[in-house]
Chain A
């Protein structure tokens, strides 16, 4: 069975600080997909990134970057120079089966104060 662990319940930072969100996944499958979603206070789920198990390249998108390491089963997410608008709950998720079912972590609340 697959499992996604986000050990950090809440992270509080001051604006312009960097923040890294940890995600550890468990799967016995060789083919899988990993995702990050953002849930702002308004409640909708916003897609941030999808990564498949064959692509271990790190990715940077603006102030966001992702570090995927299969050796440690981790897919960590860093926000550089955080802003108040980054305050949200962030979810890591995985998909391994052919039915497209997603397994979510418990989420990490990020609070950015001015």
Chain B
């Protein structure tokens, strides 16, 4: 059990529709992150959280919002999906001594 799961694993959505991706952890860790992966860019930070209801923007936060109402859940929302948000999204959590655990990723396609 990896301790962190993402859902859904794959999603196809239409331009202009809202989309929510879920990251769920069972480890009770404080810090969680959302990254997007695109060719030529590696992984880029979208938003991160340092506790319940404590979140902040990352490098590429435009068009995204997050919420963390419980320690175990970190939600990423695309309010109105655009084709430029087609990407692979990874959630991560930070365990002690800077050990990161990543989810398996969500492949999102906006058509």
Contact = CB atoms under 8 A, between A and B. Distances in A.
A106 B99 contact: no
Interface stretch (B18-26, B38-46, B70-78): B38-46
Nearest to B98: A33
A49 to B, nearest CB: 12
A43 B100 contact: no
Contacts of A77: none
B105 A102 contact: no
Contacts of A50: 98-99
Interface in A84-114: 91, 93, 95, 99-107
Contacts of A95: 98
B48 A104 contact: no
A9 B40 CA distance: 8
A100 B102 CA distance: 13
Nearest to B43: A104
Is the interface on chain A under 10, 10 to 19, 20 to 34, or 35 or more residues? Answer: 20 to 34
B90 A45 contact: yes
Contact of A44 (B41, B42, B98, B105): B105
Interface residues of B, number: 23
Contacts of A100: 31, 33, 48, 94, 98, 100
Which applies to chain B's interface (DSSP): helix, strand, loop or mixed?
Answer: strand
Contacts of B63: none
Given A43-B88, A100-B94, A106 B100 contact: no
Given A43-B104, A99-B31, A99-B50, A91 B42 contact: yes
Interface in B77-101: 88, 90, 92, 94, 98-100
Contacts of A45: 90, 102
Contacts of B56: 99
B8 interface: no
A101 B100 CA distance: 10
Interface in B26-41: 31, 33, 35, 40-41
